[in-house]
Structure formats: C-alpha cells, structure tokens
Structure 1
Amino acid sequence: MKTTGPGATPAEFMRALHSLRAARLRPEVQLEEVPAPGRIAPYSVALTAEVRLPRDDEGLAAGRFVVLHDPAGQEAWDGTFRVVTLVRGTLEPEVAADGLLAEVAWTWLEDALDGAGVVAHAAGGTVTRVLSQSFGALADRPDEVEVEIRASWTPPDGDLGPHLSAWATLLCTTAGLPPMPDGVTVLSRRH
C-alpha cells in the first residue's frame, strides 16, 4: 500500500498498514488502493471496494475506506488515527417508503462494528436516501433508491484490520448479501 505523508513513515502507521493487509474479507468484496487525501493528516491511505457477485457485471454496493494518521494526534479525533468511510448501494424501491430507513442503515454500521469487535471512539456520520423516479421518455425505468452511509470514527490503536472487516461487512449488508454463517471462515486472497 502506498501512503501519503512527509519523510519516513512512522512505525505505528506501518503496523496499521500491515493490519489492513491481514484483514479477511468476503470474496464478493473487491478491494483496490486509490490515491489518499494528502492535506487532512500527515499520513493517509485510501481503499475503494465494490461488492460483486461472480459473473455479474454490475456492482451491488461500493465505497471508500480512508485511514488518516497524525502522530501528534488531533483534538477532534481524540486519538492519532481516524477512519473515514463511505458506503453507497441501491435498495429495493419498497424500502424507500420506510421512514426508518436512515436509522436502520445506521444500525447496519453499528452491528458491523460490534460484530468485528471494533471499538469506535467519537463515531459520527450521516445516512442519505435518494429516490429517483423517471418521467417522459424514461418513464419505463423502475424507481431507484440509493442509500449512502458516511461515517468516521477513531480507533483506539493501529490495529485496523478489524475496522476494515467491519466496513466490508457494512458494504455486504448494503448490497443485500446475507451474513456469513457462524463457523465459516473467509480465506485470505492471494496477492
């Protein structure tokens, strides 16, 4: 993983990168490194992912996972690391009518964090719902509902693999994939 940052990379940030590499994700989650923001923190790394079923051209959900690191800490973070995430997915049109959609989507995040055993200090975010209806020449298109979950939190340390796993679980939940059954272990992909 490439990082942005001045000079030599701190050992704490390198350990965090190694923990991200060691994270076990479902095979439907296709992860890719992308350029990280360079002005928010001295060190950062960014990943994008898409949830795809085998032999399916269209992704079911997509998102971005950014790790920010400031060895001096930042007061707003309440720590030296900050995880900033985005998840976007298309839902069934019937779901749009549910007035509790935003609350339910936020519980998907909380459940994913809890399920991975993640401690998330100073967590916050937004859930946005967009309903698209087509008219005129496009009237034959079905209604489309998109949900976007933006969240950030401060990990207690640089062990970020469980945080990435929790985010990947949120991606899969947003994509409508059922949870992995108990006792099933996802094997790491070969690089």
Structure 2
Amino acid sequence: MKFIDTSIPDVKILEPTVFGDERGFFMETFRADEFIAAIGINSCGVAAKPFVQDNHSKSAQGILRGLHYQQTQTQGKLVRVVSGAVFDVAVDMRQQSPTFGQWVGVELSAANKRQLWVPEGFAHGFYVTSESAEFIYKCTDLYHPQSEASVKWDDPALGIQWPLVNGEAPALSAKDASGLSFADAPKF
C-alpha cells in the first residue's frame, strides 16, 4: 500500500498494490500495521483509532452527499469506491489547524482503486460523476445522528471546485440542501 500526501498533510490517499492477470485481480484494502505506521499521530496530536463501523452506499450520477461530520463521537473515515466514480472532498474544520478551512478533492473510482483517509475533525462529502457509484467506508466511531452537522456544499467561503456533470446542480437530500455556511457551522 502506498500512502500519498495531499495538500492537507493529515488527509492521505491510499493506493493499493494490485496483482492482476486474465482471471481478475487481488489487492489488500486495509492492513492495520501499515495504516497505523503511515497515519500515526495527526497535527492535533490524535492517534489513529480502530475502525468500529463499515458502511456501504449506492448513489446515481449527479447526487452529492455531504459535507457531513459529527460534533461528538467524531469519525475518521477510510473511503473507497467499488463501482463507478466519485469526486471525494474533505474540509478541515479544526480551528487550531494550519489548514483550517481548506479542502482536498480526489477522484476515487473502481478503476483507480484509490482510497482516501479523512481524519476526525473534517467535514466529508462526495459527488457521483459516473452513471452510479457504490461507496464503502470504514469509520472510527459509530454513527451519532444527534450530533451530525452538514456544511453547505457550495459555500463560496470554501470555493470547492465540484466537477458537476453538464454544469447541472447536484441532487441533494433535504438535510444537505439546508446545510450551514462554513462560517456558521460548529468547529472543533
């Protein structure tokens, strides 16, 4: 597994070694010893916690989910796509971080087999660029809807460059359509 730095040092791209032939392929998608060695302790002094929940979602093209985070029971997420492609985004919500308010966007797809590590203290979301996409992610804490917050996907203060298909507005849930501005959203 190769760990690739992004413009926000605590957010990492994970690129697996893929062994393939005419029969198919094999790859490791997670290995605790390598993950802990590569992630270690983030800039806020927090060590990587064990994963306690796995999630799997399927979405059609043009759907945007996010930008979500939990204020308590904060979650680190290791995310990947097993079918289709998405543009995946992490926004630093940690006020004491040197990258506070910055974002990273990465294409994750079944073809490139990349994963993204989104640490605790980040808002996270993705936009489906393919006909549909299946998205799998491991979480370091359990889902806690009472503390969930949503930051508006198109907040001009963030300036996220979403690759919108045909320039059309994304399909959003009611929760995401009424997301908070970055300025008004709770921070860590």
**Common fold: TM-score over 0.5:** no
Relative to total residues, which structure has the larger helix share, 1 or 2? Answer: 1
Relative to total residues, which structure has the larger strand share, 1 or 2? Answer: 2
TM range (shorter): under 0.3
Task: Give the number of the structure whose alpha-carbon radius of gyration is greater.
Answer: 1
